[in-house]
Structure 1
């Protein structure tokens, strides 16, 4: 089926025997066109189903009311909620979002950035991929005069506006809770240490152990256990140790915690009596597993709104000397059955 030809201002001008410039001025309400002619042009544009090219129009005006967003995965609750929070604010401001997914690939992330630059977006908001290599593509955004906001996973070496969670404190709270429940050997499932969020969560884990005079045991810390499959493999190794852990903090995500729970269930290990499990991110499924999973709520919708407001209130303001700043959001520990060995502690 042949695609119908798009109506242009030249089609309207030809039908009305006018100059294209007169049609353009009328459609953009820029004056120098009589009211009678303007009404005729608008009526004809409607009859011909004319749709204005917003990108071209914005380029002529020197701005584009479109913001690009790049996330590792759109199907994760955290990133989906951040996007929802962003959209709620940007929609009210008359802005559109272009959403890209890196699939945890640095090469794909670079392609997403280049695509958005070519779309002449006014701002790019990004949480970098797990195999982040260098920031050349991020610097390219700035060199093209496009605003850049980083969130959650960021490049610490690049000075931009950033919106972050207090990952260290959240992890410290989670491990402190496990200690309060009487767990003695607490294992850690780590994410890639090239990413700020996983470094900070490990710091929080170590800080809680030190504050309570627990020994730091390298054999209880498993690197790069940041997917369900990798965490399951790490959990099998941990639980088959001569002296296995009695609690596992899946600091990478709730999907990792789910991998832990499945392995424990298959091995006949009782949760939380014999093994406490804590995840991170408050994915929707954590409430309906058996037992329900203790996790950390990152206030992701709020984070999205904060990012959008940062753009409209700080970056897009008339203050050209605005200094890039870091906004920190404190997550909340959500205590559920998977760690409640001591029933006297109230659930949150």
Structure 2
């Protein structure tokens, strides 16, 4: 069976021998249309099974109840949960979401931004890619008058609404926990230092070592170890040192920590007795690995709700604030078996 042709305002106008503009005004409850004509048009629309194109209608009115969200990777639990949190709030408000994935590519991120601008979304929410180069495309969003909310990974110097985690304090908590467990040589797997969150997590690592009078050893800091594969490769290099680490803080992600655990398992190292492992993000798999992995919960669903509420409470408010708000959420250290060398902790 062929799909039935969608009824348009032109079909209604033709049947009633009216102008399409008159039909459009009636369907929009314009006061310039008489009550008798409005009733005739509405009855005919119902008879012809007319369905209003809400997107086109919103564009004609200059707005669109759609929020665009750009994340580095949709398949990571953290970003998926942030999106779920945003959707939970926006659904109640009658808004839709358009989700884009940069796949950690700045070029792809720019394309995502342009696509959302062309769709006339009400707001763009973004967490920048790992190879972020400059903020020209983000400036373009502002130039188009579209509200911009950055979260987690942000262009720090760009004056926009931001929802952030306290990454530095979370890393201080993680490294301090490892020190309290008796680990002496704590290595760091760090992410690209052009991205704010990885820079902050490294700062927390260094601050914790300094606080506990531990030496800072450059050979124990591995750059750009932010995937499972890169985490595994860095772990092999660290464990081949004449004095290898007895703990590794994978500050980039739990995927990197998983790479550490896989290498340690293959080498026959006992975790946590011979090697402590701490990740970041509280991915679902960290509870079911053997041993389970200590990590940091970023309260991602709550962050998503905070982002959505920020839009509705601040950006849509009639009382505009000239100073975009920055909201900080404190993550929580989740202690599991991979670091519990001292069972009394």
Q: Same-fold call, TM > 0.5?
A: yes
Alpha carbons 2:314, 2:321 under 8 Å: kept: no
The residue aligned with 2:71 is 71
Q: 2:276–2:338: 8 Å Cα contact kept in structure 1?
A: yes
Within 1, Cα distance between the matches of 2:322 and 2:93?
21
Q: Give distance in 1, aligned partners of 2:339 and 2:36.
A: 74
Counterpart CA distance in 2 for 1:291 and 1:46 is: 62
- Counterpart position of 1:244: 244
Q: 1:290 to 1:131 in 2, by over 3 A?
A: same
Higher mean alpha-carbon deviation, 59-68 vs 154-163, is at 59-68
Alignment partner, residue 45 of structure 1:
45
CA contact (8 A) 2:314 2:320 kept: no
Deviation, 1:13, is 1.3
Q: CA deviation at 1:216?
A: 0.2
Aligned residues: 345
The match for 1:301 is: 301
Partner of 1:312: 312
Q: Report the equivalent of 1:102.
A: 102
Q: What corresponds to 1:208 in structure 2?
A: 208
Structure 2 counterparts to residues 325-344 of structure 1, below 5 A: 325-344=325-344
Q: Report whether the alignment pairs 1:113 with 2:113.
A: yes
Matched ranges for 1:138-177 at <5 A: 138-177=138-177
Alpha-carbon separation, structure 1, partners of 2:44 and 2:78? 47
Equivalence for 1:130: 130
Query: Displacement of 1:83 after TM fit?
Result: 0.5
C-alpha distance in 1 between matches for 2:200 and 2:32: 60
Which string of whole-angstrom CA distances, capped at 9 and with x for unpartnered residues, describes residues 229-259 of structure 1? 0000000011111111000000000000000
Structure-1 residue corresponding to 2:186? 186
Taking the aligned partners of 2:257 and 2:321, their CA distance within structure 1 comes to: 44
Alignment correspondent of 1:224: 224
Q: Is the 1:247–1:276 Cα contact (8 Å) retained in structure 2?
A: yes
Q: Displacement of 1:326 after TM fit?
A: 1.1
What SS does structure 1 have at the residue aligned with 2:236? helix
Tell me how far apart the structure 1 counterparts of residues 49 and 113 of structure 2 sit (CA, whole Å): 33
Take 2:166 and 2:60, find their aligned partners in 1: how far apart are those partners?
42
Distance in structure 1 (CA, Å) of the matches to 2:45 and 2:262: 61
Structure 2: distance between partners of 1:28 and 1:104? 43
- After TM superposition, give the deviation of residue 29 of structure 1 in Å: 2.2
Residue 19 of structure 1 and its aligned partner are, at CA, apart by 2.6
- Distance in structure 2 (CA, Å) of the matches to 1:265 and 1:321: 53
Which position in structure 1 is the counterpart of 2:268?
A: 268
Q: CA deviation at 1:38?
A: 3.4
Shift of 1:36: 4.9
Once the 2 structures are TM-superposed, how far is the Cα of residue 222 of structure 1 from its aligned partner? 0.1
Q: CA deviation at 1:39?
A: 4.0
Structure 2 residue 195 is matched with structure 1 residue 195: yes
Give, in whole Å, the separation in 2 of the partners of 1:247 and 1:46: 69
Unaligned runs of 5+ in 1: none
1:128-180 CA-to-partner distances (Å, cap 9, x unmatched) read 00000011100000011111110000001211110000000000000000001
Three-state SS of the structure 2 residue aligned to 1:69 is: strand
- In the TM superposition, what are the counterparts of 1:287-298 in structure 2 within 5 Å? 287-298=287-298
Contiguous gaps of at least 5 residues in structure 2: none
For the structure 1 residues 107 and 10, does the alpha-carbon distance in structure 2 shift closer, same or farther, using more than 3 Å as the test?
Answer: same
* Distance across 2 between alignment mates of 1:257 and 1:51: 51
Q: Distance in 1 between matches of 2:314 and 2:90?
A: 14
**C-alpha distance in 2, partners of 1:46/1:136?**
48
